Amino acid sequence: MRINKESFKSDFKRKLTTLYAESIRSASNFHKYYALASLVKDYSSEKWMNSNDYYSSQKKKQVYYFSMEFLIGRLLGSNLLNLGIRDLCREALAELDINLDELEELEHDAGLGNGGLGRLAACFLDSMASVGIAGHGCGIRYDYGLFEQKIVNGYQVEIPDNWLKNGNVWEVRREDKAVVVKFGGKVTPVLENDTLTFEHTDYEAVLAIPYDTPIVGYKNNTVNTLRLWSAETIDKDFDLDSFSKGEYTKAVEHKYSVQSISQVLYPDDTRIDGKILRLKQQYFFVSAGLQSILRTFRKTRKPITKLDEYIQIQINDTHPAVAVAELMRILVDEEQVSWDDAWRITTNVMSYTNHTILTEALEKWPIELFKKLLPRIFMIITEINERFCKKIYEKYNDLNLVHDMAIVCDGYVKMAFLAIVGSHSVNGVAKLHTQILKERELNNFYKFFPQKFNNKTNGITHRRWLLKSNPELSKLINKTIGDNWITEPIKLINLLAYSKDKDFQDKMYEIKQANKAEFAKYFYETHGINIDPNSIFDVQVKRLHAYKRQLLNVFNILDLYYRLKENPNLDIVPRTFFFGAKAAPGYYLAKQTIKLINTVADIIDKDQAVNNKIKVIFLENYSVSLAEKIIPCADISEQISTTTKEASGTGNMKLMMNGAITIATLDGANVEICDQVGEENIIIFGMKKDEVMELEKTKRYNSMDYYNSDPRIKRILDNLVNGSLGVSPSEFADIHKYLLANNDEFFVLKDFAAYLDAQNKIDELYRNQDKWREMSIVNIAHSGAFSSDNTIKKYARDIWRINQ
């Protein structure tokens, strides 16, 4: 399909008319947005159909990325970009007096994820389509995405994210492809003519309806599918049985109980709370996804024993791990495949990505709950477990080891162990993370299955996080080294030749300043707050969690504040500290930290003696679209987690790609960023992996020692609880208690001095602008290594065994 400005303009006008019976003159901006998006979807639909036809006729290997979260953000801008018509549309719309950027702003973020894990899934979808892999997403179409955050009087307030209220132009509801998912009931073995089958009765049947969203590859005609499942009652509106008995309320209740399965995303990224609805969600989308994959496969008329040659499934964290047992059920119960063949097929199909070593995040389900909800799946897991335990015993003759590695043990079903045993690949998400998995967390499994373990360092799509979010920098890069970095991101390395080039340095600096000024303007217009675009933009944006140590950042700010009070002539480069972070609604300490950040922001704001030198901005409702605005402005990237706790991080990659200098612990992918850019182009501080592990083992850390020996720490902690922050002394008592009485689990006080030293280096470095700009360019040049295009190619080659 050839599109030029004139044809686009007439298509757009026609769209407004067919959708709304409106002209450009009469249509609201939202209608213009919707009509434009609808047109863009039309432009991609032929490619979508052709991709699907091509995949089925070539019998190409299909990859399915199973994930409970897809943090997509907005699609209009990225779809225009990937179709290669964004500039054309911008110009054509301008001729109609319409501003494309304004329309793009009207799209509601698809916030179907908490943070890094969900965003990774979204970046992978973009990369799979853009490098031409037949790779699709499978997840849940939540009616409500991650809550919207409002800050009221310094506190986080959660508002439901009703993202579908104005419709979702991108999705296609496919009722014809619905499947039934069964919960509860009774399973009875039936022996007939020497074959054993299992009869499932009295179950609750839930209808799973798929909604498909096209995932457009970058200028390559590939359009893949993100299939999200929605739960509905089979009788559509009523449980007829109850209804006919006159139990009207019961019928309606049943409808709502079924719909609740896909109603809301659990707003917690690192802890599990064992809620039965969550297990229901997991089985719901996994079963629906597998049933639809198998249905498509049967149409190819290939023997089921070759399923693994055509289908690969990546399990994103343990949330979809029940897929191992569900595929076994389908193969054994429905396809009459022998257990051994089914097991070979299943393990060849499945691979598992581990995302965390935090023990509170390792999913396990109480046996009683599991058995009741998924009786047949539980039987299958028991069988998998028995066979596995037998193998461990045969190999080691050690019952303790059997106990430690059993999938079903101590009253729980352990999902990570099920995923490992049932997959042919287990990967960590950064070198350090994979090393820790092998050495410590999963050491038993590594020794038993060494060939399964591998590393795949996370990545980000440079198309959204540089090309789209930082258009001026992208243009400068194009002019300087050409534009082949867009399809071969590693080519960004050619910028190294310009790291000392005065002209390039100056232009890059001007772009950064313009981005900052634009953000300051946007922030003033939306919040009425002034930000100095000439200050250093110091940015920490990520979920709020103790291990990510936003507290360390606030404590540095407080210390700086006290120093400025003592010495008003202290010569520092003005700095604006940005925080963007949502806290899980039930995570008290995290919510307290938000209140503390806002309290410190207030104190500084009201203090004439310091408020022209430092400022703290809390960015309400951090989301993908807000990330795209702030990241191109950042001078400093804060990546200060307790070493060993951040599996990879991807915010770190987005920020370096936009020229920010990273201040970091040697944790997660920070290690690899440091390896790439060299120690002279990153600011590293704090405890190393071995120190942390040693202290955790010996339990020799005593946070009180740091409180007693460092007067700066003492001042900060005392002031938290003596009323001097202008709030009740009890307001931050729990933070105080967490750090002292409870011994500071994530070593904030231990790393405090090193962090302050590192912070002080920044001022000095920034004053030397030649050096600073050179560092910035070196960072951008090396960021191509962290494109998810590269990551995905490694998954394809090593795990999915796809020949490109």
Ligand X SMILES: *Cc1c(COP(=O)(O)O)cnc(C)c1O
Residues found near ligand X in the complex (CB under 6 A): 115-116, 119, 542-543, 622-624, 627, 649-651, 654
Q: Least distance to ligand X from the beta carbon of 460, Å?
A: 7
The smaller minimum CB distance to ligand X, of residues 289 and 649, is found at 649
Question: To the nearest 10°, the Cα dihedral for 608, 613, 619, 623?
Answer: 170
First to last CA, the chain: 26
Please tell me which residue in 15, 329, 355, 575 is annotated as part of the active site.
Answer: 355
Would you give the distance in Å from CA 395 to the centre of its chain? Answer: 39
Q: Least distance to ligand X from the beta carbon of 135, Å?
A: 20
| Residue type for position 350 | M
Structure tokens of 475? Answer: 């243009």
Helix (H) or strand (E) holding 551: helix 550-566
Say if CB 760 and CB 718 are below 8 A apart.
Answer: no
The smaller minimum CB distance to ligand X, of residues 551 and 720, is found at 551
The smaller minimum CB distance to ligand X, of residues 156 and 230, is found at 156
Say if CB 781 and CB 493 are below 8 A apart.
Answer: yes
- Three-state secondary structure call for residue 260: helix
Structure tokens of 723? Answer: 């009323």
Q: Least distance to ligand X from the beta carbon of 625, Å?
A: 9
548 is catalytic: yes
Q: Least distance to ligand X from the beta carbon of 787, Å?
A: 14
The smaller minimum CB distance to ligand X, of residues 68 and 624, is found at 624
* Residue in this structure with the two tokens 């001729």, named with its chain if needed: 95
Q: Least distance to ligand X from the beta carbon of 543, Å?
A: 6
Q: Least distance to ligand X from the beta carbon of 7, Å?
A: 35
Q: Least distance to ligand X from the beta carbon of 109, Å?
A: 9
186 is catalytic: no
Would you give the distance in Å from CA 68 to the centre of its chain? Answer: 10
- Rounded to whole angstroms, the Cα distance separating 614 from 780 reads 27
Pinpoint the alpha helices (H) of 3-140.
5-20, 29-58, 76-83, 86-95, 100-104, 116-130
The smaller minimum CB distance to ligand X, of residues 62 and 593, is found at 593
Q: Least distance to ligand X from the beta carbon of 646, Å?
A: 7
Closest CA to 474 of 154, 482, 194, 190: 482
The smaller minimum CB distance to ligand X, of residues 131 and 539, is found at 539
CA distances in angstroms from 38 to 15, 42, 45, 126, 676, listed in the order given: 8, 6, 10, 20, 42
Residue nearest to ligand X (CB): 651
Please enumerate in sequence order all residues whose Cβ is within 8 A of that of 283, keeping only pairs 6 or more positions apart, or say none: 181, 183, 322, 326, 373, 374, 377
Task: Indicate the length of the chain as a whole number.
Answer: 804
The smaller minimum CB distance to ligand X, of residues 41 and 782, is found at 782
355 is catalytic: yes
Please tell me which residue in 47, 438, 507, 542 is annotated as part of the active site.
Answer: 542
Say if CB 403 and CB 429 are below 8 A apart.
Answer: no
Residue 177 half-sphere exposure toward CB, CA atoms < 13 A: 19
Q: Least distance to ligand X from the beta carbon of 624, Å?
A: 5
Say if CB 218 and CB 486 are below 8 A apart.
Answer: yes
* Residue in this structure with the two tokens 């809390």, named with its chain if needed: 618
Helix (H) or strand (E) holding 504: helix 502-527
The smaller minimum CB distance to ligand X, of residues 126 and 239, is found at 126
Q: Least distance to ligand X from the beta carbon of 70, Å?
A: 12
CA distances in angstroms from 606 to 353, 612, 616, listed in the order given: 48, 11, 12
| Residue type for position 382 | T
The smaller minimum CB distance to ligand X, of residues 71 and 332, is found at 71
- Rounded to whole angstroms, the Cα distance separating 152 from 168 reads 30
Say if CB 668 and CB 647 are below 8 A apart.
Answer: yes
The smaller minimum CB distance to ligand X, of residues 125 and 337, is found at 125
Q: Least distance to ligand X from the beta carbon of 208, Å?
A: 28
Closest CA to 548 of 713, 697, 668: 668
- Rounded to whole angstroms, the Cα distance separating 491 from 466 reads 14
The smaller minimum CB distance to ligand X, of residues 556 and 670, is found at 670
Tell me 440's DSSP state.
I
Would you give the distance in Å from CA 483 to the centre of its chain? Answer: 28
Within the chain, what is the greatest distance between any pair of CA atoms?
A: 93
650 is catalytic: yes
Residues annotated as part of the active site: 355, 542-543, 548, 650, 654
